[in-house]
Chains A and B, each alone.
Chain A
Amino acid sequence: MEGEPAAKDEQPGPGDRAGFETLFRSYAPRLRGYFLRRGESSAHAEELIQEVMLTVWSKAKLYDATRAALSTWVFTIARNKHIDARRRMTRPEPDPDDPCFSGGSEPPAPDESARAGERSERLRAALGQLGEEQRTTLEQLYFEGRTMQEIAHRDGVALGTVKSRARRGVLALRAVLVEHAGEDGDEL
């Protein structure tokens, strides 16, 4: 990987063009891989990457390093851009400024926050340990953007099987996070 994100907990900020380029260089290849796997043409993928990075930059002040790893934030922006482009819709999302919004806005456990980067390391390692079926099911959901119904059809298995593969995969990944984070692993 050329240059892991300069620093995972680094705060991107406007007005720093060199910083932007560093960020761009570290994420563009990954984003390209992501969009190509979601079936975009190379040209469109490049357009989307620019969109994503510009959004990352212009909304840098909204990014909270104590809440999520930078890569997680970039991923959510990439996913949303893709949904917007593909379906011509805006993805419905909860808004913390909504008068209806209730509960905390997820202040993470105090030492959980500092370890956002470490968490993604652990997740990546755990991905490698995942059973083949669970992993490919998650990849199809996250990358190919197939619905569970479509995956069931494609893999020639029952919908329930896809659901349970996805679910077991998520539980296994979640376990490596919870195991280290201490409590806060209330079962769903």
Chain B
Amino acid sequence: MSSEIAPAPSHHPAPEDLLEYATGTGAEWLSLLVACHLTFCERCRREVAMLDEVGAALMDAAGNDDADDAWVGAAADDAAARISERTTADDAGAAGGMPAQLAGTVPRPLRPYLSEPGGRWRFLAPGIQHVPLQTPDDDVQLRLIKFRAGFVIPPHGHEGLEWLLILDGDIGDSHTGTRYGRGDVCCSDVDKEHSQDVSPSEPCIALVANLGPLIPKTMLGRVLAKIVKI
């Protein structure tokens, strides 16, 4: 399990990903991934806050559609009348839903995407368990994956992008030669062949988004791809 003071993430979403998040134009899966990263990353939260300021300034600058005064007055009255009706009802909120074993590891923005409230780990392949997530977008597979400590993902490529957001433990990538830890975003390029290895000391849990099929480069990879059916 993660320690209290985890180091801040050092691999962030691209600036345009944050911009799409802030403007609400990004695909839902990407917004979800960004929101999870933001949970861990103060630096990107600041950046998004700045992008929100930009949005407000644009709204102010463009503003003042010539809404006639009579409407504004009536609408204000109407809204004021509704204030009393809805005081506290709003945020009773979904408190449950997060399996105890995942709370503290899985950021809250993911909660609504667990297909079943209990969302428990299921066997996917030897050394790999997963929790499928409700896929918000047609062309993307989204899941939580837990790799056993020391697991090595054999060399493979991708027809589409693959994104990992590390939630616990860490994983190394042969292509970038980097290790990714809690909160880090790792985006694998199309066609770039790579293998990945989980640190031998602890399992690695990641949010994984696949935008296309995996292209296995080895026999083991082929078997894995078949089992995983990505």
Contacts and interface: CB of A to CB of B under 8 A. Distances in A.
Contacts of A80: 24
A143 interface: yes
B59 A1 contact: no
What bracket does the count of chain B residues touching chain A fall in? 35 or more
B80 to A, nearest CB: 5
What bracket does the count of chain A residues touching chain B fall in? 35 or more
Contacts of B19: 141, 166-167, 170
Q: Main SS of the interface on chain A?
A: helix
A123 B59 contact: no
A76 B59 CA distance: 11
Contacts of B32: 92
Interface stretch (B33-41, B123-131, B169-177, B185-193): B33-41
Contacts of A55: 90
Interface of A: 1-2, 14, 17, 20-21, 24-25, 28-34, 36-37, 46, 49-50, 53-55, 57-59, 67-69, 71-72, 74-76, 78-80, 82-83, 87, 89-95, 98-104, 106, 119-120, 123-124, 127-128, 138-139, 141-143, 145-148, 163, 166-167, 170, 173-174, 177, 184, 186, 188
Given A55-B90, A58-B87, A82-B24, 9 more contacts: A17-B80, A29-B64, A30-B65, A32-B67, A33-B59, A74-B56, A95-B39, A102-B183, A124-B61
Interface of B: 6, 8, 12, 15-16, 19-20, 23-26, 28, 31-32, 34-36, 38-43, 45-47, 49-67, 71-73, 75-80, 82-83, 86-87, 90, 103-109, 112, 136, 167, 183
